[in-house]
Structures are given as C-alpha cells and as structure tokens.
A and B are shown apart, each in its own frame.
Chain A
C-alpha cells in the first residue's frame, strides 16, 4: 500500500543544467499536483494534471518549467536551464475524487533541489 513516491529525494544541479523530478501517485490515484516550497515559505501551487492532460498550470513560471503525466509512467516536472532561485523543495500530491468523499491530496516526501 505504497504512498506517493518521488525521486530523487535530493538533486544537485549547476546553473544552466536541466532538472527532472519524478512522481508516482498513490495506487488508484489519477490526479497529480505539484507544489514548490521555498525556504521559510509556504507551499505554492504549480500545476495540476490528470493522465495525458494539464488541467491547471496557473502556478507554473512561464519559461523553463514544464510538466507531464503520461498514460504510462510517473509524472515529470522538468526545469530547464536552472538558476539559483529554483532551489527549493518540490512536492507532489495525488488524489482520487471518485473514491474519496473529501478528495484529499496526499503528499510525497518531496525532492530537494539545490542549484550551485
């Protein structure tokens, strides 16, 4: 009965490199959300996806960031040409509104990205 899985747990990149963050939702969950948490700040919504569809990307920066949730495999958050300001904890959450009265989002352990 695995929960939400994220990998890697820690990722170090140099400025200008690409970062790929992966999220496998809880078994039976079809909705995935990505949030970013900067040091000493609250969680900020980035994007909401269902299989093969982006539902809401209103929190995604306009450039360098993209997300996908393919029919098979994990959801991927991709950051191109990383800058120091991208250093943060990135959390993925999943839910299943069809089986949960509350449609609660359950969070993964996060990926801590450090940009040198």
Chain B
C-alpha cells in the first residue's frame, strides 16, 4: 500500500524555525520531494532527497532516513510569505509522485 503522513496544520512566528515531518510507507521508493503550494497556485519545487542525510538550500533544509521511512523539511528565519502548504511526495519506481495531504503552515508576526 501507499501511505504518506504529515501534520495537517502548523503555526509559527516570524523569524522562528519550524520543522515539518513526513513519514511514508510505499511499495517502492525512488526519491522524496518537498513542494510549496500557495493557495490557488501551482506546487513549486523546494527540495529532493534520495540518499540518507541532510540537503541544505538557503533557508530550507530537508532530511531523509530511508530505513525509518521519515523525512523532514526545516524552514529557518521564517517570513510571512512562507505561509503556504508544504507537500511531501515520494516518487515511485514508475516515476509517478505519491503525495501526502500537505501541511498548512501559518506564520504570524
């Protein structure tokens, strides 16, 4: 079966750090992606992990542990514009993306 779990909602304060967790159980694994989606807009690519460890990209970092079926997205120095949904997606061996339901992040001043 295919199952990807993320928290539904999170809140944080401007300037803070937030960690969004994602656990997955899929029949195949060919990489994990994080996308950002503002309301009414297209998902935009944030990060990609296929090997265990941390990938850092400016204010955003993503971590993967394949043995635990676990990833997180770390957002530092939060800004108001970071208020959006964050989507965790596992790529299958047939290249399709399997998405979680997304985590809606609200950043408050």
Contact = CB atoms under 8 A, between A and B. Distances in A.
B67 interface: no
Categorize the interface residue count of chain B. 20 to 34
Interface stretch (A12-20, A37-45, A63-71, A73-81): A37-45
B31 A42 contact: no
Contact of B44 (A35, A44, A58, A107): A107
A92 to B, nearest CB: 9
B39 to A, nearest CB: 11
B45 A104 contact: yes
A45 B42 contact: no
- Which one of B42, B45, B50, B91 has the highest number of Cβ atoms from chain A below 10 Å of its Cβ? B42
Given A104-B33, A106-B45, A109-B41, A44 B99 contact: yes
Contacts of A102: 31, 48, 50
Interface residues of A, number: 27
Given A41-B101, A102-B48, A107 B95 contact: no
B33 A107 contact: no
A35 B31 CA distance: 18
Nearest to A104: B45
B75 interface: no
Contacts of B42: 4, 91, 107-110
A52 interface: no
Interface of A: 4, 31, 33, 35, 41-45, 48, 55-56, 58-59, 91, 93, 95, 97, 102-110
